[in-house]
Amino acid sequence: MRRLTAENRLHPAELILPLFVREGTSEPLPIQSMPGVVQHSIDSLRRAVTDAATAGLGGVMLFGVPERRDATGTGAIDPDGILNIGTRAVVEEVGDALVVQTDLCLDEFTDHGHCGVLDASGRVDNDATLLRYRDMALAQAEAGSQLLGLSGMMDGQVAAVREVLDAAGHIDTAILAYAAKYASAFYGPFREAVDSQLSGDRRSYQQHPANRREGLREATLDLAEGADVLMVKPAMSYLDVLSDVAAISDVPVWAYQVSGEYAMIEAAAAHGWIDRGRAIEESLIGIKRAGADAILTYWALEIANSLR
């Protein structure tokens, strides 16, 4: 009776698995703060996406971890940069079975760890960053990415990327706008995962956790610029914002269950303080109940296999 009357339920096709691919490694490397998650080699990445496709996941989101970084993130636009190499490998392996998605942001590729280009005073230069994002968009689309995850939170990023994609003939490459992305403490483990070089914080371009209406405003702007999907990030602490965005959006709305959310449940479960399986399922159902059409989660493969 409980199953029959459930108002929300999970499905593998609504789950997206974030994956990290590291340059210069021949084997997967464990991420200490995220038990069970690794930085992949190209070979292990191929195996991981094959498993994801077999499990019926909706997609994978790829993040690159380069060996070398510079002030403007040159590796992000290099066709032979690790993220673009990884994208081609994944498209070749499973491009017809799930949606191959790529993170479009400079933070993994810059030696200062910020999501954009810095000006002479050390501040992120929004408009100069948009030029780099346009180049990244072309590189990722040409590598075969089917959906670009614009996570940098620069003003005008959706319009800038849509314009350059259309001009180059990539009219079928979709845009996932990280529309409401907050300056959160829950990103900590992710920074280990991508070997972030960040010093300081990103509060000048990510949103204030106290602001609910601002999240809706940012989402509305991205809709007007041509976003195909809207993202709210993190998920757990921003379910109200997720609900607000879902209520007004005429495109799909997704949520990212971020590294800190994953790490907290894994750590508590490892100490025997909570029931791991029930906590994972409840956390995901809560995100779905708040209005998410799909969820990025590091448990995507595990949950999909359990659902099957």
pLDDT of residue 308: 83
Q: What are phi and psi of 63, to 5 degrees?
A: -125, 135
Residue 130 has pLDDT above 90, yes or no: yes
Distance in angstroms (rounded) separating the CA atoms of residues 84 and 82: 6
pLDDT tens, 206-215?
999 999 999 9
pLDDT at 140 over 90: yes
Instruction: State pTM to two decimals.
Output: 0.96
- pLDDT tier at 113, thresholds 50, 70, 90: confident
For residues 261-290, give the mean pLDDT: 98
Structure tokens at 7: 């108002």
Cα separation, 239 vs 246, in Å, equals 10
> What pLDDT is recorded for position 203?
78
How many whole angstroms separate alpha carbon 173 and alpha carbon 165? 7
Domain 12-307 has CATH 3.20.20.70: yes
- Where residue 191 falls among pLDDT bands split at 50, 70, 90? confident
% of the chain with per-residue pLDDT over 90: 93
Mean pLDDT of 63-90: 96
Average pLDDT rounded to a whole number, residues 81-105: 97
Pairing state between β 229-233 and 147-150: unpaired
Model pLDDT, residue 197: 80
Phi-psi group of 18: left, alpha or beta (phi > 0 → left; psi -120 to 50 → alpha; rest → beta) = beta
Residue 117 corresponds to which amino acid?
V
Alpha helices in the chain (DSSP H): 42-54, 82-94, 126-143, 157-167, 188-193, 213-225, 239-248, 259-270, 276-290, 300-307
Cis (ω within 30 of 0) for the bond into 30? no
What is the number of H-type helices and E-type strands within the chain?
10, 10
pLDDT digits (tens, 9 = 90+) for 224-253: 999 999 999 999 999 999 999 999 999 999
Place of tokens 């602001």: 211
Give the separation between CA 212 and CA 218, rounded to whole angstroms.
10
pLDDT tens, 9-48?
999 999 999 999 999 999 999 999 999 999 999 999 999 9
CA 183 to chain centre: 15
**Residue 201 pLDDT exceeds 90:** no
Q: Which residues pair with 60 in a beta bridge?
A: 17, 100
pLDDT band of 204, cuts 50, 70, 90: confident
- Position 142 scores a pLDDT of 98
Give dist(CA 38, CA 29) in Å, integer: 5
State yes or no: pLDDT of 199 exceeds 80: no
Contact 18, 296 (CB under 8 A): yes
| Buried-exposed string 182-191: b where 16+ CB fall within 10 A, e elsewhere | bebebbebbb
Catalytic residues: 181, 233
- Judged against a pLDDT cut of 80, whether residue 78 lies above it is answered with yes
Mean pLDDT of the chain: 96
